Amino acid sequence: MTADLAERLGFRSVLAVCAHPDDESFGLGAVISTFGELGIETTLLCFTRGEASTLGTKTDDLADHRAKELEAAAAVLGVRSLRLLSYPDGHLSEIDIEELSAEVEHAAEAGSVDCVLVFDESGITGHPDHQKATAAARATAARLDLPVLAWTLPSTVTDALNSEFAAAFVGRDPSAIDFTIHVDRTMQHEAIGRHASQSNDNPVLRRRLALQGSSESLIWLSAPRVSRRDS
């Protein structure tokens, strides 16, 4: 993507809303670091401490361990500020959306952001926690009149992952993707390494990044008032 990306997007500060520690790196990492290179600051809100993960279970206090991993990864990505909450991992879908939305609103106003960055509404992996985090962010953005930009995957990538790993990734037809950006994954890989409990034994993640190459796909779930969709 050309150097005028920040100008064409029309914002200077984003709030990234995630369900779990590592979502900001495994999913949004290359987007966040690319935005940082363009002078777009990121504030991060994470709803859970990831204690329900089946990876890293040899750690005595997985929630505390993953919180520390998140802090380290956020620093690598250049995140301006981080707010980590303690909603139950794996049960975010059971929490009232207004309660979650209020947390998003607090983070958005504290960070003076002008865009919200989320996972696509499918949750990418189909995880209900991902879906609820995005739904809460969208509810807040509607109230605050903020655009919502979502990280997504092209169906060519998700089809390959689902075939190879019997996974349940949900992608978008390439024609439905608003734009792609060229990324350098160096900082993302470094941030992923900070989540050692989740990344050391994660062949699906490695394969996804290989399939994506140096491109990230983005879609407007709520577009800015002046459309900047690529032709």
Q: What is the pLDDT of residues 29-39, one digit of tens each?
A: 999 999 999 99
CA nearest 138: which of 110, 112, 119, 111?
119
Residue 210: Cβ-neighbour burial (10 angstroms; 0-12, 13-18, 19+): exposed
In a domain, 228, yes or no: no
CATH of the domain at 85: 3.40.50.10320
**Burial readout 141-179 (b: 16 or more C-beta within 10 A, e: otherwise):** beeeebbbbbbbbbbebbebbeeeeebebbbbeeeebbb
- pLDDT (0 to 100) of residue 56: 65
What's the CA gap between 50 and 205, in Å, rounded? Answer: 17
**What are the pLDDT digits (tens) for 54-110?**
886 666 789 999 999 999 999 999 999 999 999 999 999 999 999 999 999 999 999
Instruction: Please give the average per-residue pLDDT across 188-193, as a whole number.
Output: 98
- Tally DSSP H helices, then E strands, for the chain: 9, 7
In a domain, 211, yes or no: yes
32: containing domain = 5-222
Contact 95, 133 (CB under 8 A): no
- State the average pLDDT for the chain: 93
CA nearest 11: which of 231, 230, 226, 209?
226
- pLDDT (0 to 100) of residue 130: 98
- pLDDT (0 to 100) of residue 225: 75
Residue 115, H or E segment: strand 115-119
pLDDT band at 3 (very low <50, low <70, confident <90, very high): low
In a domain, 231, yes or no: no
pLDDT band at 8 (very low <50, low <70, confident <90, very high): confident
The pTM (predicted TM-score) of the whole model is 0.94
CA dist 23 → 5, 80, 151, 188 (Å): 23, 17, 11, 11
In a domain, 227, yes or no: no
**What are the pLDDT digits (tens) for 18-32?**
999 999 999 999 999
Number of folded domains in the chain? 1
pLDDT band at 231 (very low <50, low <70, confident <90, very high): very low
